[in-house]
Chains A and B, each alone.
Chain A
Amino acid sequence: MLTFVGIGLLAGGLGALLGVGGGVILVPGLVLFGGLPFTAAVGTSLVCIVGTSTSAAAEYLRQDRVDVGWALEFQWYTVLGAVVASLAAASIPARPLEAAFAVLLVVTAVRMWPKQRVASSSHATQKAHPAIARTAGVGAGAVAGFLGIGGGIINVPILHLLLGVPFERAVATSVYVIGVTASAGGAVYLMRGHVDVATAGGVLLGVIAGAAGAARVGHRLDQRGVKGAFALLLLYVAVRMGWRVFGAG
């Protein structure tokens, strides 16, 4: 149980700090260290991601950092993608999904790697592209439903680059949207018996504690350092997942 609480603390904390749901930690953590089948790990992860979002989003709402207008609209597109993917996931073999997850981890690590921030990145100066954003939102939801992630790694660039939401508000808005997306997907997995209840309970407690703590102290931490450590962790997990899929024969 302590292992699962620890996985939850790590996922919840990093998820809230970086605007992602923590699924990129939870799913491989539950598969590699918890021994869960991939489908059960995805379902369990989605339920716990709701905990991350709920905990952090309440704090971000208090800080008035969530763009409620965009959140309420954008979440419909991500929910649409998530429920379709969650319904379809049971008919897809785990191996290609695990391989896709390993690739996703590498992509996420590369995106998270700290870079020199461009001058306009914290301001809403970009031209909005709502039509592309809506389509991308459905895609983000589908990735969430198939792979058990919140989709924040896709949501934040959509909100920031395509809709012109300032970066910090995009992170907070993404955290809120992730909750509804994961809730929709997680409910489908739960109804189909693809959630490990005892494991989810332990992880959930860690996730909620980690997310609440990170949302309070996150702005005091060095974001570049957090991103760098997160990227390295993801690369390590990607190698482990890749080895599990391709190396084990």
Chain B
Amino acid sequence: MPDNPGKATGAVRRTLLAGQGAAVVLVLVGLVLGDRVMAAGLVVVLVTPIAALVAVLLGPARAPRFVVFSALTLVTIALALVVAA
């Protein structure tokens, strides 16, 4: 079960809200300015949950279970992107 869920929850939630807000603004601006800006919004959308994991790693809840699985997830995604490129 969670070792320190409150602090991790706060960090994840703040990151999700910030990323979501930025993405919506970029997509809305992209409707006017074109696909490049909209694509930037999509990238922000994709990066947001990953940034939330980083927030867990760097945040106040450093319980081993949180850190290990967040790090494993990040490494897996990074390797996939390297292969995809």
Contacts and interface: CB of A to CB of B under 8 A. Distances in A.
Verify that A and B bind, or say they do not. Answer: yes
**Shortest 3 CB-CB distances between A and B: which pairs?**
A69-B2, A83-B80, A61-B13
Interface residues of B, number: 47
A237 interface: no
Contacts of A191: 81, 84-85
A157 interface: no
Interface string A63-106: 01011111011011001100110110000000000000000000
Nearest to B83: A87
Q: How large is the interface on A (under 10, 10 to 19, 20 to 34, 35 or more residues)?
A: 35 or more
Contacts of B69: 72-73, 75-76
Interface of B: 1-3, 5, 8-9, 12-13, 16-17, 19-20, 23-24, 27-28, 30-31, 35, 38-39, 41-43, 45-50, 52-53, 56, 65-66, 69-70, 72-73, 76-77, 79-81, 83-85
Given A188-B84, A201-B38, A54 B45 contact: yes
A117 interface: no
Contacts of B72: 76
A80 B80 CA distance: 9
A205 B84 CA distance: 27
Given A68-B2, A73-B69, A76-B76, A208 B48 contact: no
Interface of A: 1, 47, 50-51, 53-55, 57-58, 61-62, 64, 66-70, 72-73, 75-76, 79-80, 83-84, 86-87, 176, 179-180, 183-184, 186-188, 190-192, 195, 197-198, 200-201, 204-205, 208
B80 A86 contact: yes
A237 to B, nearest CB: 25
Contacts of A195: 42
26 contacts: A1-B31, A50-B45, A51-B20, A51-B23, A54-B48, A54-B49, A61-B9, A61-B13, A67-B2, A68-B2, A68-B12, A72-B8, A72-B66, A72-B69, A72-B73, A73-B69, A79-B77, A83-B76, A83-B80, A180-B53, A183-B47, A187-B84, A190-B42, A197-B38, A201-B30, A201-B41
A91 to B, nearest CB: 13
Given A87-B83, A180-B50, A204-B23, A190 B43 contact: yes
| Interface residue SS majority, chain A | helix
B5 A69 contact: yes
B3 A58 contact: no
A76 B53 CA distance: 11
Contact of B76 (A80, A197, A205): A80
Nearest to A204: B27
A66 B77 CA distance: 22
Nearest to B34: A198
A51 B35 CA distance: 18
B28 to A, nearest CB: 7
A5 B77 CA distance: 29
A140 to B, nearest CB: 15
Contacts of B46: 47, 50, 183, 186-187, 190
Contacts of B8: 68, 72
